[in-house]
Amino acid sequence: MNKMKINILALGVAALTMTGCSESFLDTTSKTELNSTSFYKTEVQAEYAVVGCYDGYQRTVSNGNWPSLFQAVETMSDDCLGGGGPDDRSDRLMDRFDRSYMPDQIDLFNGLWDDYYKGINRCNLLLASLDNIGWTSEEARKVVESETRAIRGLEYFDLVRMFERVPLLTVATTEVVPQSEPDAVYEQIVADLKFAADNMPEEQYADKSNNLGRITKYAAAAMLARVYLFYDGVYNDNKGGAMPGGLTKEQALQYCEEVIKSQRYSLEPEFKNLWPAASTEATTKTEGRKSTYVEDSNEIVWVVKFNNDQNWNNSNINGNKFIINLGLRNVTSFAPYGNGWGACPVTPYANSLFRSGDSRSTATVIDCAAIGAYKEQITTDCMDYTGLVNKKYCPLIFTDGTSMPAAETTVDGGNMQTNQDQNWILIRYADVLLMAAELGSANAMQYFNQVRDRAYGAGVHDITSAPTREQIWNERRVEFMGEGVRYFDLRRQGLDAFVAAQMGQANANGQASGNPITIYNNKVPTTIAGTYVENNIRTKRGFFQIPNSQITLSGHVYKQNAGWE
C-alpha cells in the first residue's frame, strides 16, 4: 500500500483538470503545468482543483480499470448473470461469488481500489489547502469545500459498501494506514455529506444546462438518505436507529423532504426519455441521431458526466468505459442497439416482474428475440446468454453499425470503446420519493403513487394506504432495474434474503426451488442453477475481495474479507 500511496501523491496534482465537450462544466483545459508547491493559492486554482476532484470520481469508470463499480454490482445482483465470452471467467466468478472459475484471479478489484484512493487523495489535498487560498467570500469557500467533501463522502461510501473494512485517509500520506472498522468510515461519510447538504447555497448550480454533473445541496441530502438506509439494513436489521455520525431516521427523512420541497426536481414525464437507447431511433449516419433523450432532465439529482472526445492516445480520460461491456455481443445489425461484450444479461425472472402496461419494461430491457437478434447470437460464443439485455446502458449505433458517439466526436482515432458519452445517473428524483416513503413520510402513499402513475398512467395501479416496506422494495426493483441499485438494495434486506435471491436467479421463479432456465454457453443450451453454491455466497456477505496487491503492499497489515481467502 505504501507504493500505491506514493503514486497517488505523485499524480494527485498533475491531473487536476480534464477536457470535455462544451456542454459540461468539466470542459476546463489545463493552462499551465501545476504542482503542489505552486497550486492551491487562488480561488481560480481552487476551482481547477475541485474539477480535478470530480474528474477523480469520473475516472473510476473512464480510466478503464475493470470491473467498474457499476458492472460489478450489476453482475453480482440477482437481476443479471455474468455473461461475456468464454474467456471472461471473471464475469462468472463475480456472478457466482466463486473463485474456482478463476483461481489465479486474486487482484480482481485492484484497479477499482487504486482509482478510488487516487480520487480521495485529490480531495484530501484540496481540503488540506483551503486555509491557504485567498477567498473572495466565505460562501465561495463553502461551495468548494461542500463539493469536495461530498465527492470524498461518495467515494468512501462506495468503498465501504464494496470492501467494508477499508483504510480511512483524510489527509495525504505515504504511511500504511490500517483498515478501519466500518462505523468509523460511515461517521466520516455522514460528516462529509452533511457538510455539503447543510452548507451549499440553495441555488448553487440550479441551471443544469451549464452545470450538469455539479453537486448541489440536494444531491448530498439525497445521498445521506441512501447512506442511512443501507447502513440501517446491513448493520441494524432495518430497526431505524441512529447510525455513526449521528444521522437518524428522522434526519434522513427530513433531507428527502427538503429535496422534494425545493421544487427543483420532478419526474420525467416519459420514463424512456431518461435513457438514450430507449428513446433513440434507428437512423443512418447521414440522417444523424434522432432522439427524445433528455440529458439534463429535472429528474436527475446526482449524475456523473462523460464525454466523447477520448481516443487511445490523448489525455482526455472521460468516456464511459462500462457501457461497452453491456452491448450486444457479436452483432451490429440491430440499430440503434450497439455492439459490445455481452456482459450482465438480464434474467428472465427479473424481466417477468414488470406488469402489463408498465412503460418501464420496454425502456429497461432489450428482448433480443423481439428485435430478431436472438437466433443469431445463440450461434456465437455468448455465455450465460438469456436474450435479455440492459437497455438503460446500451451503446448506440447507426444502421451501418457505426458507433453513434464515435461518429459524432470531434477527435481523430475515436472508436466505440473510448467515445461512449452516456452519463451515469447516481440518484433520480424517483429514488428520493421512494426513500422518503420508506423512511416513513406522512406523504408516503402520495410519493409512491407518483412513481407508479408515471409507469402505468394516473390511477392505474395506485395504492390507497401507506405502502409497506415490501411494496416499496418491490417497486424499487422494477423502477431502478439496470441502474446499479438493486445489489445494494438487496443487501440491506438481510443476509438470508440476499443469499436466497442469489441462489434463485437462474431459475424461472427466482427461487432456489424453481425450475432452471435454459441459457446458451458458447452455442450450447444448458442450465446453470446448480453452479450457485450457498456457502460461496453466504460467507462473503456481499462484500468484495480485497486486492491481494494491496494486502502485499501493506506488509499484510490489511486482512482479506471472509470467503475470499
Report pLDDT digits (tens) over 290-344.
999 999 999 999 999 999 999 999 999 999 999 999 999 999 999 999 999 999 9
**How many C-alpha atoms does 461 have within 13 Å on its Cβ side?**
17
Q: What is the mean pLDDT of residues 207-216?
A: 95
pLDDT value of residue 39: 74
Q: What is the mean pLDDT of residues 439-461?
A: 98
Q: What is the pTM of this model?
A: 0.94
In the chain, the N- to C-terminal Cα span, in Å, equals: 19
Per-residue pLDDT for 9 more than 50? Answer: no
| Spatial separation of the C-alpha atoms in residues 453 and 357, rounded to whole Å | 11
pLDDT classification of 15: cutoffs 50, 70, 90: very low
- If you average pLDDT over every residue of the chain, what do you get? 93
Determine which helix (DSSP H) or strand (DSSP E) holds 453, and give its type and residue range: helix 444-456
pLDDT value of residue 376: 97
Which cell is 419 given?
467515445
What are all long-range contacts of 224-227, with beta carbons under 8 Å and residues at least 24 apart?
A: 224/190, 224/193, 224/194, 224/197, 224/251, 224/252, 224/255, 225/252, 225/253, 225/255, 225/256, 225/432, 225/435, 225/436, 225/439, 226/157, 226/427, 226/431, 226/435, 227/157, 227/186, 227/189, 227/190, 227/193
Cβ–Cβ under 8 Å, residues 232 and 242: no
Cβ–Cβ under 8 Å, residues 358 and 451: no
Cβ–Cβ under 8 Å, residues 47 and 34: no
Which stretches does DSSP call E strand in 90-241?
none
Please provide residue 429's backbone torsions phi and psi, each rounded to the nearest 5 degrees. Answer: -60, -35
pLDDT classification of 30: cutoffs 50, 70, 90: very low
pLDDT classification of 6: cutoffs 50, 70, 90: very low
Non-local (6+) Cβ contacts of 44 within 8 A are none
Which cell is 36 given?
503542489
Cβ–Cβ under 8 Å, residues 192 and 149: yes
pLDDT value of residue 174: 87
Cβ–Cβ under 8 Å, residues 453 and 358: no
Nearest to 482, CA basis, from 46, 78, 206: 78
Integer Rg of the chain from CA:
23
Helix count (H) and strand count (E) of the chain? Answer: 23, 8
Which residues share a beta bridge with 390? 365
| Spatial separation of the C-alpha atoms in residues 355 and 362, rounded to whole Å | 11
CA dihedral over 144, 147, 150, 151, signed as positive or negative: negative
pLDDT value of residue 509: 98
CA dihedral over 140, 144, 147, 149, signed as positive or negative: negative
Per-residue pLDDT for 18 more than 90? Answer: no
pLDDT value of residue 217: 98
A 10 A CB-CB count for 66 gives 17
| Spatial separation of the C-alpha atoms in residues 271 and 274, rounded to whole Å | 6
DSSP string, 71-126: HHHHHTSTTB--BS-TT-HHHHHHHHT-GGGSTT---TTHHHHHHHHHHHHHHHHH
The tens digit of pLDDT for each residue in 93-116 reads 999 999 999 999 999 999 999 999
| Spatial separation of the C-alpha atoms in residues 516 and 506, rounded to whole Å | 6
The tens digit of pLDDT for each residue in 264-286 reads 999 999 999 999 999 999 999 99
Per-residue pLDDT for 524 more than 90? Answer: yes
Cβ–Cβ under 8 Å, residues 46 and 58: no
CA angle 149, 154, 156 (to 5 degrees): 95
Look-up of cell digits 494527485: 12
Per-residue pLDDT for 248 more than 50? Answer: yes
Please provide residue 319's backbone torsions phi and psi, each rounded to the nearest 5 degrees. Answer: -95, 155
pLDDT value of residue 525: 98
pLDDT value of residue 35: 53
**Range of weakest confidence among 112-121, 167-176, 276-285, 375-384:** 167-176
pLDDT value of residue 386: 98
Antiparallel, parallel or unpaired: β 519-521 and 524-526: antiparallel
Tell me the CA distances in angstroms from 107 to 182, 537, 551, one per residue in order: 22, 19, 10
The tens digit of pLDDT for each residue in 34-84 reads 555 557 899 999 999 999 999 999 999 999 999 999 999 999 999 999 999
